[in-house]
Structure 1
Amino acid sequence: MTSTLRKVYHITVFSWYAFVVKSLAAKDGEELPPGIFVYGGPWKYLTFLNLLLQMSFFGLAAVNDLQPEESESTLNKCKDLLFSVFAFPVGMFVVLLFWSIFAYDRELVYPASIDTFFPPWINHAMHTFVLPVLLGEMLVQPHIYPPTKHALAALGVVGLSYLFWIIWVYLSVGIWVYPLLGYFSTPGLVGFFLFNMTVVTLLYVLGDKLNSHVWCKRH
């Protein structure tokens, strides 16, 4: 893909995510439907954190596009690190886990009452379009992946940090961020977390393989 098309892609996607985040921010102050509570604000939801992550990555990629081609700058390395270790595996995880649970019983993750608060397009912006956008990024340019052990260590730290955060929210207000978590015992929660981290790890490996497959064939 030419440099111009890559720049247009990054700017367009960044603008889209900025628009979605702004639309969510505009909801501040409105009466919350059952299934959403005030404590922690949107920062307790992985979906919202992922939106900020995706927006940050594509904003960084757009800025990086202004550098000379084949630049090995720190900015370029940070962009590749952000995509490979966080944006791709976390973004794919949000989409796959959300729709898997939604298909089984939406009340466990996205109660029907929320439909009166968020229109369908926002739901899909948060939980659907992330996937094709990330696959599109795979086709736009190659990314340099770090050593696997370092990447997985970073993912583990982030995963544990989010786990501790949602446990803190529960201990503070007695409500789980996601209704699904209320059905697990303590060992069940540990098992569910380990399962999720396994899925994220596999998605990281998938991203690495896809990146190598697409760009080795092109070159």
Structure 2
Amino acid sequence: MAPVLRSVYHITAFSGYAFVVRSLAAKGGEELPPGIFVYGGPWKYLTFLNLLLQMSFFGLAAVNDLQPGSKSQSAVNRWKDFLFAVFAFPVGTFVVLFFWTVFAYDRELVYPATIDSFFPPWMNHSMHTVVLPVLLGEVLVQPHVYPQTKQALAVLGTVGSAYLSWIIWVYLSVGIWVYPLLGHLSTSSLVGFFILNMSVVSLLYLLGDRLNSHVWGKRTNTHLETNK
């Protein structure tokens, strides 16, 4: 894709996510559905954290586009690729797949109907639908250099474990699960559920790597092939 069009894509995506985050922040003064932001506010929801993640990635990508001269060896470019490969693509894709899978089964387990009056449909889809096509578009917009698989999965697993510890802490502190689904699971089922989710996120990382290689061939990551 031409550099100008790539820059427009990144700036548009960043602006869109920034608008959604700003719209969510503006709702802080409204009457909230019971329990929605109890303890930890929106910071306990993976959906909100993912919005910040996507906004940060596309903001970094836009900054990288504006760098003069060669960008391939710049620190900004390396961080941009790392953020996309290890976090933005697998976590963003997971949020969409997990949300709509559970929603289709029983929406009350993940997005109770009482929230509809608080989050309009456009905001719901901005958080849980649009993320995936925008990420797939990014795969087509430009190639990304992926890190060594073992290192990437180790980092992803560490961050995932930290988030799981956070939502368990929220439950132990106020007795409310971040997602109603978790309240229906036994202790052993919770462990299995967490392991399953981490496995899915890891597979999504590998999927992103495969898609990147399929679309762009070995032009950008030949030097990494021997490290994987």
State the TM-score, normalizing by the size of structure 2.
Answer: 0.94
Partner of 1:179: 180
Deviates more, 1:121-130 or 1:182-191: 182-191
How far is the alpha carbon of 1:209 from its aligned partner? 0.3
Does 2:31 align with 1:47?
Answer: no
Change (3 A) 1:217 1:153: closer
Give the AA of the match of 1:41. Answer: G
C-alpha offsets along residues 182-208 of structure 1, whole Å, 9 cap, x if unaligned? Answer: 011111111000000110011000000
How far is the alpha carbon of 1:66 from its aligned partner? 1.3
- Please say if residues 34 and 114 of structure 1, whose CA atoms lie closer than 8 Å, have aligned partners that are also in contact: no
Residues matched between the structures, number? 219
C-alpha offsets along residues 89-111 of structure 1, whole Å, 9 cap, x if unaligned? Answer: 00000000000000000000000
Give the AA of the match of 1:43. Answer: W
How far is the alpha carbon of 1:69 from its aligned partner? 3.8
C-alpha offsets along residues 93-146 of structure 1, whole Å, 9 cap, x if unaligned? Answer: 000000000000000000000000000000000000000000000011000000
Does 2:116 align with 1:115?
Answer: yes
Unaligned runs of 5+ in 1: none
Does 2:67 align with 1:84?
Answer: no
Q: In structure 1, how many angstroms separate the alpha carbons of the residues matched to 2:2 and 2:87?
A: 25
Unaligned runs of 5+ in 2: 221-228
Q: What secondary structure sits across from 2:29 in the alignment?
A: coil
How far is the alpha carbon of 1:70 from its aligned partner? 4.3
- Please say if residues 35 and 113 of structure 1, whose CA atoms lie closer than 8 Å, have aligned partners that are also in contact: no
- Please say if residues 44 and 177 of structure 1, whose CA atoms lie closer than 8 Å, have aligned partners that are also in contact: yes
Q: In structure 2, how many angstroms separate the alpha carbons of the residues matched to 1:202 and 1:122?
A: 28
Partner of 2:166: 165
Partner of 2:24: 24
Partner of 1:65: 65
- Please say if residues 109 and 181 of structure 2, whose CA atoms lie closer than 8 Å, have aligned partners that are also in contact: yes
**Percent sequence identity over aligned pairs:** 78
